[in-house]
Amino acid sequence: TNPLKRAADKVADALQSGPTGPEDGIPGKPGAESPSVAEPTEPREPLPPKPDQGGPATVSPTGQPTGADQARTAQSGSYLTDAQGVRRYDTDHSLKAGPRGPVLLQDHHLREKVMHFDHERIPERVVHARGAGAHGVFRSYGTAANVTKAAFLAEDVETPVFVRFSTVLGSRGSADTVRDTRGFATKFYTSEGVFDLVGNNIPVFFIQDAIKFPDVIHAGKPHPDREIPQAQSAHDTFWDFVTLHTEATHHTLWNMSDRGIPRSYRTMEGFGVHTFRLVNAAGETTLVKFHWKPRLGVHSLVWEEAQIAGGVDPDFHRRDLYDAIEAGAHPEWEFGIQTFPDTPDQTFEGIDLLDPTNIVPEELAPVQPIGLLTLNRNPTNFFAETEQVAFHVGHLVPGIDITDDPLLAGRLFSYLDTQITRLGGPNFPQIPINRPQAPVNDMLRDGFHQTAVHRGVAPYRPNSLDGGCPFTAGADMGAYIETPVRVPEAAKVREAPESFGDHYSQPRRFWLSMSPVEREHIIGAYTFELAKCYEQAIKERALQTLANIDPELCAGVAAGLGLPAPEPTEPLADVEPSPALSQVGRIWPADGRIIGIITGPDGDLDGVRAVRQEVLAGGMVPLVVAPAGGTLGDGDDALTVQRTYATARSVEFDALLVAGTPGVGADAYGARDAKAGRPTVQQATPDPRVGLLLAEAYRHGKAIGATSGGQSALEAVGIPLDAPGVVTGDTASAVLQQLTGLLGGHRVWERFPSAA
Ligand code: HDD
């Protein structure tokens, strides 16, 4: 039989039969007052690794497996061992001088176990601490090949990627749906080395110079005295900063718009923010801005949903990303570039391309698609991959270069520097998730957590001892050559160019590009955040910045705060709206959207079964909601209940379909009273939790449908059957068809007051 099993049986026998001598190599059981615990399962070989998971697989210079291969061998064999591979017979009792005696210092297993635990947490990221990641693949269309020589952007090249999404301000355990900027960082493991695009879901930044980054983050993080609020910009120090540094006006406006509360990571745009410089094989340069366009369209929560989700499911975005990938609804983004001639003034249509508080409207410079990103694999281990991944804007490959944006310059230092504290030393590129998939032959040596066993004696060059290696490559051998851009002849100064002084024309363009509903949401967001500030002077200063954007915006917020609206201090900029900035008015695929099907034991179960299949066939996700868990109906046809009235909450669903009369929940108040022997109260119809589900979905502009049996439930909570986005039909299938049509617009925008 299996030798591992034989050995385990031996231990088990020994533990059963009491103290034994050293001759059979197994120490005695601890004693009567400490009964032995039987092995709960048969020893077995470890589960095979998920076939397609793991970090990048590479081979170290010593030929040892690294990356995914090494990560897999982190757990092998069937028996518990210590970190040195020595099998341990007991991990529940410290080594003591007798059962009641003192614990012995010589207990290596105790000290190793506790020492490791003491250091399990590493410092969280100083910003972007809360995040979620996924593996994927990037396939290039080749359409950028005329402007860049980057090998991964040539036609039909496939490159593995790892993407991490994040919020900025909150701690690692904070809620996903807070109002904040979202990080969108992509690591491309290209054949020429790693390229990181460390972007956000907002195309502009708060500040124009990296030297202010510590300041803006100090202002946004919780107050240093009370350490509140968590993951919020709705407090005095944040608003103090952004109203004193008016260059922050544009980014703040985006945060107060629906972009600050995305529906899902899958429905976020991404931006490289800075202007980058591409270089082609002929050495010609082009200035570009990078964009990610989600295939599902840009879609946001409404504020009340964001708040509910923060309570009922703080992992809302993390769960959504994971579930979608597990369900095979692989999120996709098209990668695109806006291109601008690399002129000495580095402006385009009067817009300074070095100022990261500026966008270039897509109407002036269309986004040209250059490839497709698909996220198709969840991480195997959150810590190993999502937590330990280290991005850096300085990770560039030949064909992609930087510009002199002063915000980018400071970042080129910060990302490298921060990993030393966060990941414990300079060898973080050796962590499996960070390893390039191109050969590495550097002359970096030693340091904390050095895992490579370097060969040779001469980590310098030239040398005459290690065969002269490593050799340097030229441009024709794929070396990274910095573009020989002319540096302006000028005096050393600490100042910004004059063109960085326009802080209002771009925010005004954004405001003018919004639909009435989006404007209503922006006014609501400013009003909420400023009403949370205590200092009157800060509120007044904020109103002044709003007056300089637009009088309607300022008046709306001032009314909410009960303050007078000031006059603008500078003339309102004469700018054209950019329709591409609005999220409203386009039609998107319904893939991956979640349809809640509310039913009960007396519902139309055949209809529900059929409509479930149709939802799946349409690439969407059906969730059957019923009074209690378990199944509905009998036999092979029984329907599995996925959410009960107690666990379903409106935020999870994109649309609701009431199929038949909803039942009464098993733990509805009446049933509980009955169980407790109290006189039962009259049940409301429908169950109050279904009523809440429907009322919230209605208020949040979601599509709602009902079969004839379900219509009374809608009427009972006051939802008019002829309201926009409310559809009815004889069968669940007929209702679904209409719901799917409505989902294309993301929400029923007509339901919001401003659209009335
Ligand atoms: Fe940053 C993390 C995006 C300006 C300093 N940043 C970080 C992450 C994203 C961004 C997405 C999370 C990466 C991950 O998931 O691990 N940051 C941006 C964008 C910026 C920006 C789009 C402006 C265009 N950042 C910025 C400046 C500085 C930093 C100006 C410093 C001077 N950022 C950092 C950092 C972080 C970071 C301290 C924290 C953790 C890390 O780097 O690895 O170095």
The one-letter code for the residue type at 703 is A
Question: What's the rounded mean pLDDT across residues 295-323?
Answer: 96
Predicted local confidence at residue 756, as pLDDT: 61
Closest residue CA from atom 31 of ligand 1: 411
Concerning whether 449 is annotated as a catalytic residue, the answer is: no
Mean pLDDT (the chain) is: 88
Distance of CA 393 to the CA centre of its chain: 18
Cα-Cα-Cα-Cα torsion 253, 256, 261, 266, nearest 10 degrees, comes to -10
Kind of pairing, strands 594-598 and 655-658?
A: parallel
Give the span between the Cα atoms of 435 and 520, in whole angstroms: 47
| 128, 251, 259, 423, best to mutate for ligand 1 pocket (most atoms within 8 Å of CB) | 128
pLDDT over 50 at 637, yes or no: yes
Shared-domain flag, residues 574 and 652: no
Question: What's the rounded mean pLDDT across residues 590-604?
Answer: 89
Number of domains in the chain: 3
Shared-domain flag, residues 513 and 635: no
Query: Of the residues 371, 405, 434, which one is the last residue of a structural domain?
Result: 434
- Of the listed 109, 128, 235, 299, which one is catalytic? 128
Shared-domain flag, residues 555 and 673: no
* Higher-pLDDT residue of 13, 373: 373
Question: What's the rounded mean pLDDT across residues 561-566?
Answer: 98
Confirm whether 633 is domain-assigned: yes
Give the span between the Cα atoms of 158 and 376, in whole angstroms: 14
Question: What's the rounded mean pLDDT across residues 612-638?
Answer: 91
Question: What's the rounded mean pLDDT across residues 697-705?
Answer: 97
Confirm whether 245 is domain-assigned: yes
Do the beta carbons of residue 600 and residue 662 sit within 8 Å?
yes
Shared-domain flag, residues 550 and 644: no
pLDDT over 90 at 68, yes or no: no
Query: Of the residues 434, 455, 490, which one is the last residue of a structural domain?
Result: 434
Shared-domain flag, residues 628 and 572: no
Q: Which atom of ligand 1 is nearest to the CA of 418?
A: 44
Find all residues with CB under 8 Å of 406, minimum gap 6, and list them.
208, 209, 210, 211, 354, 496
Instruction: List the single range of 113-117, 260-264, 269-273, 725-729 with lowest mean pLDDT.
Output: 113-117
pLDDT over 60 at 257, yes or no: yes
pLDDT over 90 at 675, yes or no: no
Confirm whether 115 is domain-assigned: no
Confirm whether 488 is domain-assigned: no
Quick one: what percent of the chain has pLDDT higher than 70? Answer: 87
Confirm whether 290 is domain-assigned: yes
What's the pLDDT tens digit per position in 329-386?
A: 899 999 999 999 999 999 999 999 999 999 999 999 999 999 999 999 999 999 999 9
Shared-domain flag, residues 699 and 726: yes
Q: How confident is the model at residue 61 (pLDDT cuts 50, 70, 90)?
A: very low
Predicted local confidence at residue 579, as pLDDT: 96
Quick one: what percent of the chain has pLDDT higher than 90? Answer: 74
Neighbours of 588 (CB within 10 A): 18
Confirm whether 3 is domain-assigned: no
Question: What's the rounded mean pLDDT across residues 738-745?
Answer: 95
Shared-domain flag, residues 422 and 535: no
pLDDT over 90 at 667, yes or no: no
Shared-domain flag, residues 302 and 358: yes
Give the span between the Cα atoms of 42 and 38, in whole angstroms: 11
Domain boundaries, position 140 = 131-434
Structure tokens of 18?
């009491």
Query: Of the residues 396, 416, 434, which one is the last residue of a structural domain?
Result: 434
Confirm whether 125 is domain-assigned: no
- Of the listed 109, 135, 200, 330, which one is catalytic? 200
Shared-domain flag, residues 223 and 254: yes
Confirm whether 42 is domain-assigned: no
What does each C-alpha distance from 186 to 166, 194, 260, 278, 299 come to in angstroms?
12, 10, 20, 18, 21
What's the pLDDT tens digit per position in 422-435?
A: 999 999 999 999 99
Instruction: List the single range of 19-28, 147-156, 621-630 with lowest mean pLDDT.
Output: 19-28
Distance 655 CA to ligand 1 centre (A): 36
Whether the pTM exceeds 0.80: the reply is yes
What's the pLDDT tens digit per position in 642-653?
A: 999 999 999 999
Shared-domain flag, residues 527 and 622: no
pLDDT over 80 at 241, yes or no: yes
Q: Which residues line ligand 1 (CB under 6 A)?
A: 125-128, 131, 164, 166, 183, 185, 198-200, 205, 210, 213, 273-274, 356, 389-391, 407, 410-411, 414-415, 418
pLDDT over 70 at 13, yes or no: no
Look up the CATH number of the domain holding residue 540: 1.20.1370.20
Predicted local confidence at residue 467, as pLDDT: 85
Concerning whether 427 is annotated as a catalytic residue, the answer is: no
Look up the CATH number of the domain holding residue 340: 2.40.180.10
- Concatenate the DSSP letters of all residues of 586-614 into one string: -----TT-EEEEE--TTS-HHHHHHHHHH
Shared-domain flag, residues 570 and 642: no
Shared-domain flag, residues 408 and 521: no
Closest residue CA from atom 7 of ligand 1: 128
Q: How confident is the model at residue 19 (pLDDT cuts 50, 70, 90)?
A: very low
